[in-house]
Structure 1
């Protein structure tokens, strides 16, 4: 395949899978490409998803009727890539070539050529940012107002920076130190080529995702459980404190990634593949970190495919599962032990309401607010939960949306 076409073709195929088959990008097999082209394909796919609605508004006047999805995705890709600064001549030729490769779009390759040559890619920057889907946007507007939600959407529309959690003694790249202690890189390049990767001096972890382990405050020698542990960032944080860590996850495949990261960083934890709703520990724990399964609605800046895949129908089931996991985790704590519950969700059903319900179900249960570096007092709720939003620190790239609470068993 000609130079530059392979990565674009892979991006179009990924868009077809997300928008036509409802598949998450993380579930797709990696294309058989050189690492550089694979990274380029992923970047183009995500950029199109972040700008899909604005791109469609520009393309619509150039189309008499809606073309097949595969052809529309070629047009979207071409427009977005030109808007990002790629040479129009090369982009148009590549998109025409991609159309000609598929018998379903071959006869419309002339349309691709005419449309892409007839649009002004600079107009894409003038379009309003893409809105969240109604099932998600409506409850967020009710909770925080339109201005706050618009600011979140603005953060979601931009490629996210890369955050690293550092080991104090390990080498690491140059970057911006965030108020919470994470290192932020705006243009990291290939992850495995960064200074300190081979030495295990750091691991990739959004700054918001690094806060639950800090909130738990595990101590050396304590018996600590990381519940729903994969991909393992929090496991490594806990292990780095010197605590005796057990990491449990329902997926053995995902735990293998945790094992690889532990080996690279030289940290230790006991890994157990089991369903937390049926597993029983051989003793009680001093502290438990529960990063529960959730809608992941707070991670759209890093997973722009999510709004096109989910419709909110799973929220009730997830909230019920979260409640069950909280109850089981509390049962595994030593008297006086502490539990940190966290979800990477923006929805109150998976956050603020979970805290209210847990306090109602367990008389005597207490919440604790801590003063942590980089955490504004305004981010704490009246009930004692910590709410993080994507629009916080927006000028520095924002953060994932999270809710977390620290509970003490009487």
Structure 2
């Protein structure tokens, strides 16, 4: 989970209809069914308000708020840019928002120049921003070799222009003249960068000529911040950290999870016929190369599948048979695990404190024609009247296991972030255990490579809570992939695993049972 799920504001109850101000989850009344459920999108009629809920009905929660937008997003409309420059300008603006603290995902969603692009221009801008971040360490090293002294902080945009020039020449097979000329045009576009246009021209030309040979010799460590390298070296050893860093140099493949009963071989054949390199993975997902327009794939409109990394699909499997059981999916957005559990017949309560993120769960449930009860609430404040038969907690974390998908993470996170999140994770674990019926199963998971958020948390939870015991993961539960189980019996994956098949996200999951 993303660190933005931390306790930073009060939450309000959310009905499964997708509207705030609806009834809280009142437990097993009316035949163990929640008062309202979500099936195919927001109920615009509005749910009945819970007793004591004095908040006005504000209508559907909308992603984002105007006062949350970066100031740079308020800039007036610009005159049209020359052909070929729009996508580079959009990538530059995306990087600017990432430097302001936005995630790459948020920057892509809220950058107006990017929103205005279509087709191949949009795909190029996204790829350019992503690759610039993915190989930022190496790119900065190469640029630094051509600078007599570091650029001043006020010239940060000039540095990003040079990074974009380097990414095009070194990583994206852009013709040198195009990479150089468009970068000079970007420098000339603003008064504060125009004075650097000659410098940009000179360095961009040198990078195009000599950079590829330099890049090939740089070690994997170059693209990994020092604090992460040290942490992973302690956890996985010298060879392990090198393998992880190498895996991060490549984008992640696309994994699709399917509803139970779907004919995977038939779906694979359909994807192959559509021109995709699809293959069935041992865990029952289908993997293919990244697709620029996922909505164009067969089965998207029918809701037969949803996007979910192979590793992310495993924690829900550890709950076992959930058919007919009351299941809490805590910190659930964007909803992949909720869809998994609902497809298996679970009576799922999908809880997240972010209304904007819950809208994504609503969208995914509607497209997949599945049912879950949505609650917008802080996990630590959630007090249902009836406890759960099974709980999955995908806790907020540094998300360092998803760097292949989110290359901004190494540059926007730090050790202080991890310390604060580890404290929150411990509190969430203890509270989740208090919501579980005796004899039932609880799974804690994080998409993190940091042991402080995974293995250390699991051991600490057992020490603090004598009412629980560890239930080791069995290979047959995860497609026979025994190598994904650590010595304690917990699930531990890294991007370097299954490298011949494209790797997988870094994940940790531990299963506990509430003793009778």
Normalised by the size of structure 1, how large is the TM-score? 0.95
- Any idea what the Cα deviations from partners look like across 1:65-121, whole Å, max 9, x if unmatched? 333221121111112112221112222221111111111111222222222223324
SS at structure 2 position matched to 1:313: helix
Deviations 1:211-234 (A, max 9, x none): 111111242211111111100000
Q: Which runs of 5+ in 1 are unaligned?
A: none
Matches within 5 A, 1:22-101: 22-28=101-107, 29-30=110-111, 31-36=114-119, 37-67=121-151, 68-83=155-170, 84-101=172-189
Larger CA deviation: 237-246 vs 213-222: 213-222
| Between 170-179 and 48-57, the greater mean CA deviation after superposition | 170-179
Aligned to 2:418: 315
Task: Write out aligned runs for 1:193-232 (5 A).
Answer: 193-232=296-335
2: distance between equivalents of 1:256 and 1:22?
A: 23
Matches of 1:153 and 1:272, distance apart in 2? 38
Tell me how far 1:202 sits from its aligned partner: 1.0
Equivalence for 2:391: 288
1:151 matched to which residue of 2? 243
Give the Cα–Cα distance (whole angstroms) in 1 for the partners of residues 167 and 386 of structure 2. 55
Aligned length: 409
Counterpart Cα distance in 2 of 1:144 and 1:9: 40
Q: Indicate yes or no: 2:451 matched with 1:359.
A: no
Structure 1, 68-77 or 203-212: larger mean CA deviation: 68-77
Poorly superposed stretches of 4+, deviation over 6 Å: none
CA distance in 1 between counterparts of 2:382 and 2:102 reads 30
Deviates more, 1:283-292 or 1:176-185: 176-185
What whole-Å deviation, never above 9, does each CA across 1:324-373 have from its counterpart, x for those lacking one? Answer: 21112112222211001101111111111111111112225222222324
Deviation larger for 22-31 or 38-47: 22-31
User: Take 2:325 and 2:358, find their aligned partners in 1: how far apart are those partners?
Assistant: 22
Distance 2:296 2:481 in 1: 34
* Higher mean displacement: 388-397 or 246-255: 388-397
8 Å contact kept, 1:391–1:398: yes
Q: Which moved more, 1:214-223 or 1:149-158?
A: 214-223
> Residue 348 of structure 2 aligns to a residue in which SS?
strand
Q: Distance in 2 between matches of 1:57 and 1:322?
A: 36
Question: Is the counterpart of residue 122 in structure 1 residue 212 in structure 2?
Answer: yes
The CA distance in 2 between the partners of 1:92 and 1:208, in whole Å, is: 40
- The residue number in structure 2 matching 1:403 is 508
In structure 1, C-alpha distance between the alignment counterparts of 2:410 and 2:356, rounded to whole Å: 26
Question: How far is 1:321 from its partner?
Answer: 1.5
Structure 2 CA distance for aligned equivalents of residues 35 and 280 of structure 1? 46
Structure 1 distance, partners of 2:450, 2:294, is 31
Larger radius of gyration: 2
Aligned-pair CA distance for 1:15: 1.9
| Structure 1 SS opposite 2:351 | strand
| Contact 2:389–2:436, Cα closer than 8 Å, also in 1 | yes
1:34 Cα offset (Å): 2.4
1:11 to 91, 99, 102: 91
SS of the counterpart of 2:115? coil
Residue 169 to residue 179, structure 1, CA distance change in 2 (3 Å):
closer
1:345 counterpart = 2:428: no
Once the two structures are superposed, residues 220-267 of structure 1 have per-residue CA deviations (whole angstroms, 9 ceiling, x without a partner) of 211111111100000000000011111011111110110011000101
Contact 2:317 2:478 in 1 (8 A): no
Which of 330, 338, 342 pairs up with 1:239?
Answer: 342
Aligned in 2, Cα 1:71/1:192: closer, same or farther, shift over 3 Å?
same
Change (3 A) 1:153 1:375: farther
What is the TM-score of this pair, normalised by structure 2?
Answer: 0.76
SS at match of 1:314: helix
Q: Is the 8 A contact 1:22 1:308 kept in 2?
A: no
Query: Which secondary structure state, in structure 2, belongs to the residue aligned with residue 406 of structure 1?
Result: strand
Q: Which whole-Å CA distance do the structure 2 matches of 1:99 and 1:112 have between them? A: 7
8 Å CA contact retained: 1:71, 1:105: yes
> What is the Cα deviation at residue 375 of structure 1?
4.8
Q: Is 1:370 matched with 2:474?
A: yes
Mapped to 2, the partners of 1:403 and 1:27 lie a distance apart of: 25
1:262 to 365, 374, 383: 365
1:18–1:308 CA contact under 8 A, matched in 2? no
Cross-structure match for 2:406: 303
Structure 2 Cα separation of the partners of residues 169 and 286 of structure 1: 27
Q: 1:380 to 1:32 in 2, by over 3 A?
A: closer
Secondary structure of the 2:380 match is coil
- In structure 1, the residue corresponding to 2:182 is in which secondary structure? helix
Decide whether aligned partners of structure 1 residues 61 and 378 sit closer, same or farther in structure 2, where only a CA change above 3 A counts. closer
Summarize deviations over 1:124-151 as a string: whole Å, max 9, x none. Answer: 3343233422222212211211111011
Moved more, 322-331 or 284-293: 322-331
Aligned: 1:386 with 2:491: yes
Is the Cα contact below 8 Å between 2:123 and 2:292 reproduced in 1? no
CA distance in 2, matches of 1:360, 1:32: 50
Give the superposed CA RMSD.
1.8
